[in-house]
A = this chain, B = another copy of it.
Amino acid sequence: MYRTHSCGELRASHINSEVTLAGWVQKSRDKGFMIWVDLRDRYGITQLIFDEERTSLDLLESARKLGREFVIQVTGTVIERQSKNPNIPTGDVEVLVKKLTVLNEAKLPPFTIEDETDGGEDLRMKYRYLDIRRNPVKEKLLFRHKVAMEVRKYLSDQGFAEVETPYLIKSTPEGARDFVVPSRMNEGQFYALPQSPQTFKQLLMVGGMDKYFQIVKCFRDEDLRADRQPEFTQIDCEMAFVDQEDILNTFEGLTRHLLKELKGIEIGEFPRMQYDDAMRLYGNDKPDIRFGMQFGELNEVTKHRDFNVFNNAELVVGIAVPGAASFTRKEIDQLIDWVKRPQVGALGMVYVKCNEDGSFKSSVDKFYDQEDLAKWAEKTGAKVGDLICILSGQTDKTRTQLSALRMEMAERLGLRKSDEFAPLWVVDFPLLEWDEETERYHAMHHPFTSPKPEQISLLETEPGKVKANAYDLVLNGNEIGGGSIRIHDKKVQAMMFDYLGFTPQEAKEQFGFLMDAFEYGAPPHGGIAFGFDRLVAILGGQETIRDYIAFPKNNSGRDVMIDAPSKLDDEQLKELNIGLDISK
């Protein structure tokens, strides 16, 4: 053992003890006759002291040569500090060093290993092993461990068994693109890495495992948007003999447990919102309900005038931005520019200021009178001092635009507080969604999701209106989990594949084993999967996941630290019976 104590351990009660510590030189201050060194390890920082009076000259000289991030071992006596540091737990004491061993030298790191670093994202990723030494990154990884432990503890206590499902599985064209793995032993054939253990967890239910979970890596070969990773971690769960209510209660329990254990926050019953209401009131299937600004639909109260922009719009809809009536003309113009940016895509914005004297001032005063505007204020819940922002156009697009504006205003007004947690169940998702490109319906959740039994007949006539027993758990405007009650009947499953455009042949080839399994006594079952990276980040009070992943990839799917992916030897390719496609 290289140490008797960690660098976060020593207190006043240790004074006069002889201790041995090991760690990294955080920094040193050399006053000539006296040298202080901050020694750091995972657990904290302890101040070391060398001085002319009590330290041999040799030792003082050695201490003087210590550079940042040198790895050292010291033995010495714990003494009381003359000027205590109340900011760190070891701040009452320091170690008067008697013996110093340099365990490893260090080159000057390419960025400072401090809470606030001068290293940019790229540099930090290339030297991730140095970045991890920094408190903010290290604490996030330790927090992730803690969340995982609590998840496992809770679910295990509830009777769930963690079962490992395979990573080398079969490619299925449905859904996102698979990463594939050539099989050397089965020439010309490939495994795929799982996008999720979906079919395996369903087979475990057929197998009578009853309550399954797994914290598991999943893989999607997608073009990476910011803050997406080609490999990501899921808390994957499934239960048999349950209906939707049981699943919501179980995983509301899990989420409540995490909030309590990790954040000390007790939250009562989670509100539930229908998908249709979420879209109508927030323009979004994952509304952030930490703040208001619910949508007010204004078609009824706008269409009696000659303002054709509104009259021709499928939807006229507004939000009341609290306190924003004080915006200057310039600020409002900037806001209009903001909604017209291609990322948002609105054609314009109508606004109404709710003045202190109870009057209204709008950008469409030519068309609407005070009485009209009062109705708009009522519909959007606007109060004195608020600014009503109104967008109009095709329903879906307008809702998306206004949702973006709502989030932007909340951000600007500081309403998205990272220490406030507002969970929400969004339920009754549509079963299918229309895909413009392929001109057919796709499964909104996945092809194993059960339509609401009473709506199965609607599939023939109005497939877009059929709702599923599908639900998302939303936390602070982020979807942290989603799931559904599954189909457990072979005939319904075959019908679903048919609606989704699979030929019986294709369905059999890709999911034959599941269809077969359904013939041997499949129980009713359902489940949920949480995006673990995102869940941890949100619990940690952040919106970006990257620092909660020890070794993340960049937006090109590269690990810049190890420089992967990389080329293979020809020999390796040959053994795998594949070649690089040079046809183009």
15 further contact pairs, Cβ within 8 A, besides A69-B521, A204-B550: A43-B210, A71-B521, A104-B518, A106-B519, A128-B203, A129-B204, A129-B206, A144-B163, A168-B553, A168-B559, A168-B564, A170-B562, A170-B564, A180-B182, A578-B579
In the complex, chain B residues whose CB is within 8 Å of the CB of A173: 569, 572
Stretch at the interface among A215-223, A312-320, A357-365, A417-425: A215-223
Total identical chains: 2
Known: A106-B520, A565-B186, A565-B189. A572 touches B246 (CB 8 A): no
In the complex, chain B residues whose CB is within 8 Å of the CB of A148: 162
Question: Which of the four size classes fits the interface of chain A?
Answer: 35 or more
Residue of B nearest to A73 (CB): B241
Most buried by B among A73, A127, A208, A573: A208
A576 to B168: give the CA distance in the assembly, Å. 18
In the complex, chain B residues whose CB is within 8 Å of the CB of A70: 521
When each residue 133-170 of chain A gets 1 if its CB lies under 8 Å from chain B and 0 otherwise, what string results? Answer: 10000100110110011001000100001111111111
Choice from B107, B191, B522, B561 contacting A520 with Cβ under 8 Å = B107
Residue of B nearest to A40 (CB): B208
Choice from B1, B191, B583 contacting A565 with Cβ under 8 Å = B191
In the complex, chain B residues whose CB is within 8 Å of the CB of A578: 182, 578-581
B42:A565 contact, CB within 8 angstroms: no
Complex A-B, nearest 10 residue pairs according to Cβ-Cβ distance, in ascending order? A132-B207, A106-B521, A170-B564, A2-B241, A189-B565, A42-B210, A183-B565, A69-B521, A145-B161, A129-B207
A180 to B565: give the CA distance in the assembly, Å. 10
Residue of B nearest to A221 (CB): B184
In the complex, chain B residues whose CB is within 8 Å of the CB of A438: none
A114 at the interface (CB under 8 A from B): no
A2 to B242: give the CA distance in the assembly, Å. 6
A226 at the interface (CB under 8 A from B): no
Most buried by B among A171, A243, A489: A171
A190:B243 contact, CB within 8 angstroms: no
A575 at the interface (CB under 8 A from B): yes
Choice from B170, B184, B563 contacting A177 with Cβ under 8 Å = B184
A556 at the interface (CB under 8 A from B): yes
**Smallest distance from the beta carbon of A241 to chain B beta carbons, Å?**
4
A130 at the interface (CB under 8 A from B): yes
